[in-house]
């Protein structure tokens, strides 16, 4: 039986990054992946393909809605959905091939098959052809990720009632789509189809969309998405989803209990994801899961069994690729005797709609709940010259700072390129900058980032310059 210092189960952003860092630190490393391609949810059916379709659909939407105002006229503009899906597939293939390269470069042995614990130090790998390989591991990192969740009364038939995975493969633009869940997936994939011409209705249980982010962000984003024609049914409780051969009917009760019936070509169920530990043999090593099926770990990301760690979507915390990556590096360095640290508060969250939403630190609601004395400064993109030039005037930047010390406690951006802009806020907060620090730094003109400087100025004695 071949023996490794570390075996990683699962090759998503948590697993493959952990494997690379282990190899960099001199450990003999193997990675096991049950799918044919490496990269996990993120590269195959998550971050990368969704962003490819978001970019394609945004190009179409701009061509249709904004080009004429820019003085560009087009005849015969149309969507070639099979080509759009094909390009997305090529982006995924190039990206997953990149992981093959990284594994080879770092001399990480890749096993294709389903991994499960025989005991603490032995792992079985079942291959598609029914054969089995057994390997020995000094230490193991569980990085088996997550799968889409559903509601007890919904059958995901993958034809009319679909998850994000099927929504990334549609071969024609639907006329109507009902999206259950106004969270990240619902709004990103809802945007893709709304831009392509689908009538999208988002049914959300809570009274706001992206309910875990700062409330002001959900409000701004909803205003923009409504302009695009997306309908929102907030505070609605879905009670039935009935799939026919060519359509689907969704029934929900509104706040007052009145029934609403929606008919569509597809119903996208995006009500969250759950940790994936199926047939992992956890019972053979005595590792338990919490009430939500997640593997329990301590502050060093160690499970209850010495030598077995867990990272990413399969444990508690935000289900984000970059959170999984940080945890992969953390575990490898901890195994090597180093003292790594992750500041979970400063893991940014991004929604890749247009305008984008990006956030780091505390929300205003959290500060109120904690009883922290804070001040707030905002700056709208409609007052930004750069945003006017590109016709991206929706949204705002909000900076929250400690009332006494001026330390930045949270930054929330709904606007163009928010996903890239949030990095400045992360760096600032990592160095415990004050709002005044950002307010006094030169920001290139004209850029969207000037809006962050202006919001920081607004947070410090209301001295924004351009409003």
Which of the residues 405 through 434 are near ligand FAD (CB under 6 A)? none
3-state secondary structure of 432: coil
Which segment (288-296, 314-322, 369-377, 427-435) binds ligand NAD by CB under 6 A?
314-322
Which of 195, 273, 375, 386 is the binder for ligand NAD (CB under 6 A)? 273
Please provide the distance, in angstroms rounded to a whole number, between the alpha carbons at the two ends of the chain: 69
Residue 356 interacts with ligand FAD (CB under 6 A): yes or no:
no
Binding span for ligand FAD by CB under 6 A among 37-45, 151-159, 331-339, 386-394: 37-45
Q: Does 184 bind ligand NAD (CB under 6 A)?
A: yes
**Residue 191 engages ligand FAD in binding (rule: CB under 6 A):** no
- What phi, psi does 192 have (nearest 5°)? -55, -50
Catalytic-role residue among 59, 70, 300, 445: 445
Distance CA 466, CA 196 (A): 36
- Residues numbered 163 to 182 that lie near ligand NAD (CB under 6 A) are 180-182
Asked whether the beta carbons of 215 and 363 are under 8 A apart, the reply is yes
Residue of closest CB approach to ligand NAD? 183
Q: Which residue, chain included where needed, has tokens 């015969």?
A: 76
- Total interface residues for ligand FAD by CB under 6 A: 37
Question: Rounded to an integer, what distance in angstroms lies between the CA atom of residue 110 and that of residue 94?
Answer: 18
- The alpha-helical segments, DSSP class H, found in 26-130 are 40-45, 47-65, 67-70, 81-105
CA 310 and chain centroid, separation:
19
How many Cβ atoms from other residues are within 10 Å of residue 462's Cβ?
9
Options 146, 198, 208, 216; binder of ligand FAD; rule CB under 6 A: 146
C-alpha distances in angstroms, 48 versus 44, 59, 81, 147, 224? 7, 17, 18, 16, 24
Contacts of 205 (CB under 8 A, 6+ apart): 181, 235, 236, 237, 238
Contacted by 143, from ligand FAD, ligand NAD, none: CB < 5 to 8 Å by type: ligand FAD
Q: How distant is the alpha carbon of residue 267 from its chain centre?
A: 20
User: What is the nearest approach in angstroms of ligand FAD to the Cβ of residue 185?
Assistant: 5
CA distance 230 to 202: 7
Among residues 311, 56, 269, 240, the alpha carbon closest in space to that of 165 is found at: 269
DSSP 294: P
CB of 143 to ligand FAD, least distance (A): 5
Report the residue from 81, 136, 151, 260 that binds ligand NAD according to the rule CB under 6 A.
151
Q: Quick one: what does residue 203 bind among ligand FAD, ligand NAD, none, with the CB cut-off 5 to 8 Å set by partner type?
A: ligand NAD
| Residue 325 to residue 296: CA distance in whole angstroms | 18
Our finding on whether 206 is near ligand NAD (CB under 6 A) is yes
Please tell me whether residue 81 binds ligand NAD under the rule CB under 6 A: no
| Residue closest to 321 by CA, chosen among 95, 65, 79 | 95
Binders of ligand FAD among residues 51 to 80 (CB under 6 A) are none
Secondary structure of residue 309 in the 3-state scheme: strand
The structure tokens 């709002």 sit at 435
Q: For residues 321 and 456, which CB has a smaller minimum distance to ligand FAD in the complex?
A: 321
| Conformation bin of residue 205: beta by default, left when phi > 0, alpha when psi is -120 to 50 | alpha
Based on the shown chain and the rule CB under 6 A, indicate whether residue 376 belongs to the binding site for ligand FAD: no
Binding characters for ligand FAD, 254-293, by CB under 6 A (x = yes): ----------------------x---x-------------
Q: Determine, following the binding rule CB under 6 A, whether residue 230 of this chain makes contact with ligand FAD.
A: no
Least CB distance from residue 351 to ligand NAD, whole Å?
A: 5
Active site residue 412: no
| Structure tokens, 71 | 């003085």
* The entry of ligand NAD, ligand FAD, none that residue 411 binds, CB within 5 to 8 Å by partner kind: none
- Compute φ and ψ for 70, nearest 5 degrees: -75, -5
Residue 21 sits in the site that holds ligand NAD (CB under 6 A): no
Closest to 170 (Cα-Cα) out of 106, 98, 84: 84
Residue 179 engages ligand FAD in binding (rule: CB under 6 A): no
Nearest to ligand FAD of 218, 312 (CB atom):
312
- Report phi then psi at 302, rounded to 5: -90, 140
Question: Residue 186's binding partner, choosing from ligand NAD, ligand FAD, none, with beta-carbon cut-off 5 to 8 A by kind?
Answer: ligand NAD
Residue 175 has φ and ψ, to the nearest 5°, of: -75, -45
Our finding on whether 324 is near ligand FAD (CB under 6 A) is yes
* Cβ neighbours, 10 Å, residue 283: 9
Residue 206 partner contact from ligand FAD, ligand NAD, none using kind-dependent CB cut-offs of 5 to 8 Å: ligand NAD
Residues touching ligand NAD, count (CB under 6 A): 25
Pick from 182, 183, 186, 312 the residue near ligand FAD by CB under 6 A.
Answer: 312
Q: Residue 324: which of ligand FAD, ligand NAD, none does it interact with, CB under 5 to 8 A by kind?
A: ligand FAD
Which parts of this chain interact with ligand NAD (CB under 6 A)? Answer: 151, 180-186, 188, 203-206, 211, 238, 270-273, 318-320, 350-352
> Which residues are identified as catalytic?
445
Which parts of this chain interact with ligand FAD (CB under 6 A)? Answer: 9-15, 32-35, 40-42, 46-47, 50, 114-116, 143-146, 164, 185, 276, 280, 312-314, 319-322, 324, 352
């Amino acid at each position: 039986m071949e023996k490794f210092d570390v075996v990683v189960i699962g090759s998503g952003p948590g697993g493959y990054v952990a494997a690379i860092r282990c190899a960099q630190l001199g450990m003999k490393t193997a990675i096991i992946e049950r799918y044919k391609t490496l990269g996990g949810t993120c590269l195959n059916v998550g971050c990368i393909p969704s962003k490819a379709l978001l970019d394609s659909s945004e190009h179409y939407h701009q061509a249709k809605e904004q080009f004429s105002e820019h003085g560009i006229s087009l005849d015969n503009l149309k969507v070639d959905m099979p080509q759009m899906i094909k390009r997305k597939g090529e982006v995924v293939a190039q990206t997953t091939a990149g992981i093959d390269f990284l594994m080879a470069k770092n001399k990480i042995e890749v096993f294709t098959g389903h991994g499960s614990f025989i005991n603490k130090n032995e792992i079985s790998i079942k291959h598609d052809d029914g054969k089995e390989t057994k390997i020995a591991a000094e230490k193991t990192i569980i990085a088996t990720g997550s799968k889409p969740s559903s509601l007890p009364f919904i059958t995901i038939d993958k034809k009319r009632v679909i998850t994000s995975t099927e929504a990334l493969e549609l071969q024609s633009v639907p006329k109507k789509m009902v999206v259950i869940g106004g969270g990240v997936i619902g709004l990103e994939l809802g945007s893709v189809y709304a831009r392509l011409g689908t009538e999208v209705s988002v049914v959300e249980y809570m009274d706001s969309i992206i309910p875990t982010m700062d409330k002001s962000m959900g409000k701004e984003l909803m205003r923009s998405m409504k302009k695009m024609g997306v309908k929102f049914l907030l505070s609605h409780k879905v009670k039935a989803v009935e799939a026919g051969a060519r359509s689907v009917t969704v029934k929900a009760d509104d706040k007052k209990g009145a029934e609403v019936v929606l008919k569509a070509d597809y119903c996208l169920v995006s009500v969250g994801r759950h940790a994936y530990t199926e047939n992992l043999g956890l019972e053979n090593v005595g590792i338990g899961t919490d009430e939500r099926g997640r593997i329990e770990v301590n502050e060093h990301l160690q499970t209850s069994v010495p030598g077995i760690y867990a990272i990413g979507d399969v444990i508690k915390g935000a289900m984000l690729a970059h959170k999984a990556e940080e945890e992969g590096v953390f575990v490898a360095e901890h195994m090597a005797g180093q003292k790594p640290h992750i500041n979970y508060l400063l893991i940014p969250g991004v929604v890749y709609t247009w305008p984008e939403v990006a956030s780091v630190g505390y929300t205003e609601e959290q500060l109120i709940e904690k009883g922290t004395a804070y001040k707030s400064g905002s700056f709208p993109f409609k007052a930004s010259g750069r945003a006017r030039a590109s016709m991206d005037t929706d949204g705002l930047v909000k900076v929250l700072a400690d009332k006494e010390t001026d330390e930045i406690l949270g930054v929330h951006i709904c606007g163009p390129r928010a996903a890239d802009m949030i990095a400045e806020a992360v760096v600032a907060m990592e160095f415990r900058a004050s709002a005044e620090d950002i307010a006094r730094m030169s920001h290139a003109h004209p850029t969207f980032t000037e809006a962050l400087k202006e919001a920081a100025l607004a947070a410090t004695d209301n001295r924004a310059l351009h409003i």
